[in-house]
């Protein structure tokens, strides 16, 4: 009788401990989640997403499985897919911050041209308190920003001519992201920009509806834009384009605390990996593009673009005062 009582007592204690630390809740939680992106499977977004999915599966002992839907399978552009995450049709998304101002206006502060000096500057801002604040702001839009990943510094491509300075680029009809700061910057520089969802760009380039576009090396390389006539690449690095790993906020909050922590920790860990593979492969991808017949202009007069685009800082100063811009510019 005494042994039986002791066993019951022990069992109750174990159950109490398990419940207190969420063990029981997470042991019961099972889910299959859809992760979307606009880029092809071999693009760094999805190499990162695959690693994230593998680690989550391992760290939740197979309870949470993440399936990847690349190349715009779940939406023709990132704005549309973000709406899908808000509504719960998509669970997770790796996206540039391009069209995110419509969801969380504060994020547009990262979109100013020539704001970031280099990757080290990027990391110190995105991984510091400014980055954390910007991620937290997404909560108001029923989105949870898990971490900043990377799209990269953006460069101009076109089908008409080698562009060495802003004068060469004037008059070109280019696609931009659905982003008011980018749009204003290109207008100020004398180009003819049109915002467009990414899913429509390849055909628009192919049909010569537009002359060019701008994106990081990994996007241009993985979508083989030379096959759509983009023969000229210019190393303008006019703006840094962060990426976000977003999850539907309600879904995240419904997960046991222990799993939430696994998601947050893993998203940050993969951020370092994802940024590294993106950066390390850039030069090799540029060289491969040259073998495909792309003229790569490396010695671009970036100052000419910087001067021409600078009026946007004043244009948006009521939303983003100089003090906020300087907080980013002065970050070490």
Using CB under 6 A as the criterion, which residues of the chain lie in contact with ligand PAF when the complex forms?
Answer: 38-39, 78, 95-96, 98, 151, 177, 198, 215, 219, 241
CB of 62 to ligand PAF, least distance (A): 30
Q: DSSP per residue over 114-139, as a string?
A: T---SHHHHHHHHTSHHHHHHHHHGG
Residue 192's DSSP bridge partners are: 173
Longest dimension (CA), the chain: 93
Nearest CB to ligand PAF, comparing residues 36 and 262: 36
Nearest-CA neighbor of 143 among 250, 26, 296?
250
Cα distances from 195 to residues 26, 153, 180, 186, 293, in angstroms, run: 44, 19, 9, 11, 27
CB of 280 to ligand PAF, least distance (A): 19
Nearest-CA neighbor of 83 among 34, 23, 143?
143
CB of 37 to ligand PAF, least distance (A): 8
Nearest CB to ligand PAF, comparing residues 75 and 131: 75
Nearest CB to ligand PAF, comparing residues 25 and 71: 71
| Strand boundaries in the chain, DSSP class E | 31-36, 64-69, 92-96, 143-158, 173-176, 192-195, 212-215, 232-248, 295-297
Nearest CB to ligand PAF, comparing residues 97 and 106: 97
CB of 203 to ligand PAF, least distance (A): 14
Cβ pair 151, 219 in contact under 8 A: yes
Tokens 């969801």, residue? 103
CB of 38 to ligand PAF, least distance (A): 4
Dihedral angle over CA of 73, 176, 174, 207, nearest 10:
20
Cβ pair 40, 72 in contact under 8 A: no
Nearest CB to ligand PAF, comparing residues 125 and 225: 225
Cα distances from 283 to residues 176, 185, 274, in angstroms, run: 24, 27, 16
Q: Which residue is nearest to ligand PAF (CB)?
A: 96
Per 3-state DSSP, the chain is made up of helix, strand and coil in percentages (nearest 5) of 55, 20, 25
Nearest CB to ligand PAF, comparing residues 176 and 260: 176
Nearest CB to ligand PAF, comparing residues 91 and 150: 150
Structure tokens at 243: 């990426």
CB of 282 to ligand PAF, least distance (A): 15
Nearest-CA neighbor of 113 among 196, 193, 181, 164?
181
CB of 151 to ligand PAF, least distance (A): 5
Nearest CB to ligand PAF, comparing residues 198 and 320: 198
């Amino acid at each position: 009788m005494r042994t039986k009582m002791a066993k019951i007592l022990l069992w109750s204690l174990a159950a109490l401990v398990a419940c207190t630390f969420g063990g029981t809740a997470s042991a019961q939680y099972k889910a299959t989640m859809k992760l979307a992106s606009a880029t092809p499977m071999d693009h760094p977004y999805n190499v990162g997403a695959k690693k994230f999915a593998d680690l989550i599966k391992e760290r939740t002992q197979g309870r949470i499985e993440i399936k990847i839907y690349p190349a715009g399978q779940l939406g023709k552009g990132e704005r549309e897919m973000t709406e899908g995450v808000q509504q719960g049709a998509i669970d997770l998304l790796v996206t540039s911050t391009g069209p995110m101002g419509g969801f969380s206006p504060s994020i547009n502060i990262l979109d100013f041209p020539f704001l970031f000096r280099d990757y080290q500057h990027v990391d110190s801002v995105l991984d510091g308190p400014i980055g954390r604040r910007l991620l937290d702001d997404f909560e108001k839009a029923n989105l949870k920003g898990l971490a900043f990943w990377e799209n990269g510094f953006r460069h101009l491509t076109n089908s008409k001519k080698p562009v060495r300075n802003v004068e060469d680029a004037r008059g070109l009809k280019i696609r931009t992201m659905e982003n008011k700061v980018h749009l204003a910057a290109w207008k100020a520089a004398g180009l003819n920009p049109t915002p467009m969802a990414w899913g429509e760009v390849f055909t628009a380039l192919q049909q010569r509806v537009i002359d060019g576009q701008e994106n990081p090396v990994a996007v241009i390389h993985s979508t083989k834009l030379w096959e759509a006539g983009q023969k000229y690449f210019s190393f303008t690095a006019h703006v840094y384009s962060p990426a976000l790993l977003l999850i539907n906020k309600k879904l995240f909050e419904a997960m046991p605390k222990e799993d939430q922590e696994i998601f947050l920790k893993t998203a940050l860990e993969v951020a370092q990996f994802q940024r590294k593979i993106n950066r390390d492969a850039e030069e090799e991808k540029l060289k491969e593009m040259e073998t495909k017949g792309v003229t790569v202009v490396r010695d671009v007069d970036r100052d000419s673009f910087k001067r021409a685009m600078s009026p946007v800082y004043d244009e948006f100063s009521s939303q983003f005062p100089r003090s906020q811009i300087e907080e980013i510019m002065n970050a070490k």
